[in-house]
Amino acid sequence: MELDHVTRAHPGGIVALRDVSLRVPRGQFLAVTGSSGSGKSTLLQCAAGLDVPTSGRVRLAGTDLTGLGETARTRLRRDRVGFVFQAYNLLPALTVADNITLPLRLAGRAPDVERVRRLVDRVGLGDRLGHHPAELSGGQQQRAAIVRALVTDPAVVFADEPTGALDPRTGAAVLDLLRDLVTELGQTVVMVTHDPAAASRAHRTLVVEDGRITDDRTTDDEGN
């Protein structure tokens, strides 16, 4: 994922991102932090093709998003991007199994049953596939949402405050799982978070202030 001199100005004069350049190599787990209103969500949305920069370029999974229309961006998101949200966003009428495989059905792809089974077992939901989201705890729902985000083997997973609705212990367990999956699958993850404990799990942490990257730190596996 690559941002090259990205600026996003909103009508009315608010500049949410100012000339941001950033490269996230494959397999990196990046946390984006910063105070409220600093531009974190705008960065995620521009990087994920949900929002369009006023100027600059975004490359995602080998595709330059600049100049792509809404339909092409939607297709790229559907096929190459996974999302994890604070509120899980599972569909209440579907079972866990159907929620998890929904992105594949939307993309017209047959589920790789082996891969789905491995992921589900890996997150400890093997005995919950026939349940509905309301029958799961918050941590279990977020685990299901993580599997749903990974099931299409996306180029990048974008996570927006994935622990925001969880108590600290459950949130830490979900993040440890996410980090382990990142390592095992070589998955690239970009996570927006207010939570320093969440950011500390990432390989690299950016601080965004007033639309600019003001700090960029990489940590090793020991957290140094």
Number of Cβ within 10 Å of residue 158's Cβ equals 26
Nearer to ligand ATP, 36 or 224 (CB): 36
Nearer to ligand ATP, 90 or 207 (CB): 207
Smallest gap, in angstroms, from Cβ of residue 17 to ligand ATP? 8
Smallest gap, in angstroms, from Cβ of residue 34 to ligand ATP? 6
Smallest gap, in angstroms, from Cβ of residue 37 to ligand ATP? 4
Asked if 37 contacts 9 with a C-beta cutoff of 8 angstroms, the reply is no
CA torsion 57-63-65-67 (nearest 10°) is 100
Q: Could you tell me the sign of the dihedral formed by the alpha carbons of 196, 198, 201, 203, in that order?
A: negative
Nearer to ligand ATP, 180 or 216 (CB): 216
Binding footprint of ligand ATP on the chain (CB under 6 A): 10, 14, 16, 34, 36-42
Which amino acid, 83? F
Nearer to ligand ATP, 16 or 116 (CB): 16
Smallest gap, in angstroms, from Cβ of residue 125 to ligand ATP? 29
**Distance in angstroms (rounded) separating the CA atoms of residues 28 and 37:** 25
Angle, helices 96-106 vs 138-150, to 10°: value is 20
